[in-house]
């Protein structure tokens, strides 16, 4: 099999554009996923059982079904109830829901890992339950959660390749388009892999840097 | 913490703003953006669904540095849109998703080298046939001689595109083992790496791969098909008689004018460039 990368001279702009789309998708997926994840996590540790039940059910449902199925259901299935999202919106919604479920578990674990004494101390100082969470627990929990959050970021970036299925022009979509024009099956995929690696490796390094900035000297 | 937070917030805002300024993220910018500033009446938009991995029917091509979906199916779609006085918007997706997109109103019509089978007719309506294609068997060069009829594929691993007409043909071969994948390039890889022994593809598609990849040949196999099985037609949502009639009249015009043959030749030339 001959590996020929000459298509890059003609298609490199497509790759750059699609890398940007991948970044956009994962950015929104991670951003909204984190926000939603925090909310779900807080509901999950709520002491009111119906709230707790709904949050747990949501997490289990999302974690228990494949992302590809979720994407297809959101893109095609929602039209049954009259919601017709564009491919990009469907992609963002699917990535958001998926990452929120995993993030929720990361947050829950992070929050529950903070020593009970911290809560007790801040409550004794007269802080309310909400204030305790906001000023004492979450900042400490966040620092501990950082590696897990970073991991989730990277997973979302890679999983965003699945949305090529519904026709969003991200990296894999472009690789397949190039396969189709050049009649070269392998080389366009290798370029895609390289792009993903550059993105995730850069992000991993940024996160390590951030982790170091936030770490306390012990 | 504060010193880290500020730059991060700024970065966040920049990304959000640039992301919002960029609307055209789907469809690979296959169409010129609607000219909102040029005024005039709001133009009707008609959405085409296609799976652009099927050269010369439809495929991606970089034209002046811009990724564009081209092919003879696309030329036909343009003619249909022009006759309707509508603007054409192209949605590119997986082949298996096409009919689903049609029945869920994601697209108005589908042109993707679709063969109107009885099973598909249950779910969508088809127009007249606009093009007949022959099927071909693609094999590695060293096996070109040994395959002279479909029966020779008995006991072999045969690759086809999922949900395609070729899948149906392969299923009828006694004793053949099937590999059905969504995209043609993956099938080519399967063939080149020896995981399948032969592929069944439409002839123009197979010939393009022979031209562009070393070590592949089209086997000397004639695949018999009923007239109504080898042709491609355009699919619309079930019950949309008006649109079927409209497209049929455009097709009639294109066929009598010899335009479709011209589109096919042009699409093949574009591939060769």
Measure in Å the smallest separation between the Cα of B174 and chain A Cα atoms: 29
Per the confidence metrics, is the pTM higher than 0.80? no
pLDDT at residue B19, rounded to an integer: 52
Q: Regarding beta strands B44-50 and B86-92, do their DSSP bridges make them parallel or antiparallel, or are they unpaired? A: parallel
pLDDT at residue B21, rounded to an integer: 46
Measure in Å the smallest separation between the Cα of A109 and chain B Cα atoms: 22
Return the minimum-mean-pLDDT range out of A109-123, B4-18, B247-261.
B4-18
pLDDT at position B79 over 80: yes
| Confidence grade of residue B32 (pLDDT, cut at 50, 70, 90) | very low
Q: Which of A164-168, B60-64, B236-240 has the highest mean pLDDT?
A: B236-240
| Confidence grade of residue B12 (pLDDT, cut at 50, 70, 90) | low
pLDDT at position B16 over 80: no
Rounded to an integer, the average pLDDT of B68-87 is: 95
Cβ–Cβ under 8 Å, residues A78 and A84:
yes
Q: Regarding beta strands B216-218 and B135-140, do their DSSP bridges make them parallel or antiparallel, or are they unpaired? A: antiparallel
pLDDT at position A216 over 70: no
pLDDT at residue B37, rounded to an integer: 40
Count residue pairs from A and B with Cβ separation < 8 A: 127
pLDDT at position B135 over 80: yes
Inter-chain residue contact B100 with A10, CB threshold 8 Å: no
- Mean of all residue pLDDT scores within chain A: 90
Rg (CA), chain B: 22
Inter-chain residue contact B25 with A75, CB threshold 8 Å: no
More confident residue, B86 or A10: B86
Q: Rounded to whole angstroms, how far apart are CA atoms B50 and B93?
A: 6
pLDDT at residue B28, rounded to an integer: 40
pLDDT at residue B14, rounded to an integer: 58
More confident residue, A201 or A77: A201
More confident residue, B225 or B168: B168
Residues of A in contact with B184 (CB under 8 A): 179-180
What count of Cα atoms within 13 Å lies in the side-chain half-sphere of residue B71? 26
Give the nearest chain B residue to A77 (CA atoms): B104
Q: Give the percent of chain B with pLDDT over 90.
A: 46
Q: Rounded to whole angstroms, how far apart are CA atoms A71 and B18?
A: 25
CB count in 10 Å sphere of residue B26: 26
Model confidence over A125-145: pLDDT tens digits?
A: 999 988 998 899 988 888 888
SS (H, E, C) chain A: CCCCCCCHHHHHHHHHHHHHHHHHHHHHHHHHHHHHHHHHHHHHCCCCHHHHHHHHHHHHHHHCCCHHHHHHHHHCHHHHHCCCCCHHHHHHHHHHHHHHHHHHHHHHHHHHCCCHHHHHHHHHCCCCHHHHHHHHHHHHHHHHHHHHHHHHHHHHHHHHHHHHHHCECCHHHHHHHHHHHHCCCCHHHHHHHHHHHHHHHHHHHHHHHHHHHHCCCC
Task: Lay out the sheet containing B86-92: strands in order across.
Answer: B86-92, B44-50, B109-110, B231-237, B124-132
pLDDT at residue B22, rounded to an integer: 46
Test the A interface: residue of B62, B91, B123 with most A CBs within 10 Å: B62
Test the A interface: residue of B14, B61, B67, B98 with most A CBs within 10 Å: B67
Model confidence over A59-110: pLDDT tens digits?
A: 999 999 999 999 999 988 888 888 888 889 999 999 999 999 999 999 999 9
In order of A186, B146, B158, B194, B213, the CA distances from B139 in angstroms are: 18, 10, 10, 10, 12
Q: Rounded to whole angstroms, how far apart are CA atoms A39 and A104?
A: 8
Q: Rounded to whole angstroms, how far apart are CA atoms B109 and A29?
A: 31
Residues of A in contact with B1 (CB under 8 A): 139, 214
Which residues of chain A from 64 to 93 reach within 8 Å of chain B, CB to CB? 72, 75-76, 79-80, 84, 86-88
Q: Rounded to whole angstroms, how far apart are CA atoms B87 and B99?
A: 22
pLDDT at position B36 over 50: no
Rounded to an integer, the average pLDDT of B113-123 is: 87
Test the B interface: residue of A18, A34, A178, A180 with most B CBs within 10 Å: A180
SS3 state at B47: strand
pLDDT at residue B250, rounded to an integer: 96
| Confidence grade of residue A37 (pLDDT, cut at 50, 70, 90) | very high
Give the nearest chain B residue to A214 (CA atoms): B1
pLDDT at position B26 over 60: no
**Residue in A80, A181, A186 nearest the CB of B59:** A181
pLDDT at position B157 over 60: yes
Return the minimum-mean-pLDDT range out of A6-15, A40-49, B26-35, B72-81.
B26-35
pLDDT at residue B131, rounded to an integer: 92
Give the phi and the psi of residue B131 in degrees, each rounded to 5.
Answer: -160, 135
Q: Which residues contact A109 (CB under 8 A, 6 or more apart)?
A: A145, A148
pLDDT at residue B7, rounded to an integer: 59
pLDDT at position B159 over 70: yes
Inter-chain residue contact B26 with A169, CB threshold 8 Å: yes
Terminal Cα distance for chain A, rounded? 55
Assembly ipTM: 0.70
Give the nearest chain A residue to B23 (CA atoms): A88
pLDDT at residue A62, rounded to an integer: 96
More confident residue, B179 or B41: B179
CA triplet B66, A158, B52: central angle to 5 degrees? 35
Q: Rounded to whole angstroms, how far apart are CA atoms B180 and B159?
A: 6
Q: Give the percent of chain A with pLDDT over 70.
A: 98
């Amino acid at each position: 099999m001959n590996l020929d990368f000459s298509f890059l001279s003609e298609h490199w702009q497509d790759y750059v554009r699609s890398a940007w789309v991948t970044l956009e998708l994962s950015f929104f997926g991670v951003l909204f996923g984190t926000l939603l994840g925090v909310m779900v996590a807080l509901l999950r540790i709520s002491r009111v059982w119906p709230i707790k039940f709904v949050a747990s059910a949501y997490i289990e449902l999302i974690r228990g079904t494949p992302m590809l199925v979720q994407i297809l259901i959101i893109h095609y299935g929602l039209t049954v109830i009259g919601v017709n999202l564009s491919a990009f919106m469907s992609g963002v919604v699917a990535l958001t829901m998926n990452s929120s479920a995993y993030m929720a578990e990361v947050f829950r674990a992070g929050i529950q890992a903070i020593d009970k004494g911290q809560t007790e101390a801040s409550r004794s100082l007269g802080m309310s339950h909400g204030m305790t969470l906001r000023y004492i627990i979450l900042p400490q929990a966040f620092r501990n959660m950082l590696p897990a959050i970073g991991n989730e970021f990277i997973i979302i970036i890679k999983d965003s390749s699945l949305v090529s299925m519904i026709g969003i022009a991200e990296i894999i979509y472009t690789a397949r388009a190039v396969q189709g024009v050049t009649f070269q099956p392998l080389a366009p995929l290798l370029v895609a892999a390289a792009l993903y690696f550059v993105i995730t490796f850069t992000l991993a390094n940024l996160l390590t840097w951030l982790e170091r900035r936030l770490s306390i000297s012990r | 913490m504060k010193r880290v937070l500020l730059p991060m917030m700024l970065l966040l805002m920049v990304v959000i703003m640039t992301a919002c300024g960029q609307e055209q993220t789907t469809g690979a910018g296959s169409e010129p953006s609607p000219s909102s500033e040029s005024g005039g009446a709001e133009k009707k938009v008609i959405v085409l669904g296609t799976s652009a991995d099927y050269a010369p029917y439809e495929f991606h091509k970089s034209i002046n540095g811009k990724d564009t979906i081209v092919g003879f199916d696309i030329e036909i779609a343009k003619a249909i849109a022009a006759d309707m006085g509508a603007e054409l918007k192209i949605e590119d997706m997986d082949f298996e998703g096409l009919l689903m997109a049609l029945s869920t109103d994601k697209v108005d019509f589908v042109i993707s080298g679709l063969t109107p089978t009885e099973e598909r007719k249950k779910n969508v309506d088809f127009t007249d046939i606009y093009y007949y294609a022959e099927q071909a068997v693609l094999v590695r060069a060293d096996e070109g001689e040994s395959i002279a009829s479909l029966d020779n594929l008995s006991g072999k691993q045969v690759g086809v595109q999922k949900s395609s007409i070729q899948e149906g043909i392969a299923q009828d071969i006694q004793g053949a083992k099937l590999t059905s994948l969504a995209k043609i390039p993956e099938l080519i890889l399967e063939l080149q790496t020896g995981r399948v022994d032969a592929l069944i593809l439409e002839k123009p598609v197979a010939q393009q791969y022979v031209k562009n990849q070393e070590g592949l040949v089209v086997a000397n196999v004639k695949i018999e098909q009923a007239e109504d099985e080898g042709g491609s037609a355009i699919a619309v949502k079930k019950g949309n008689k008006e649109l079927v009639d409209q497209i049929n009249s455009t097709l009639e015009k294109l066929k009598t004018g010899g335009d479709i043959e011209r589109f096919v030749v042009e699409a093949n030339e574009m591939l060769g460039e």
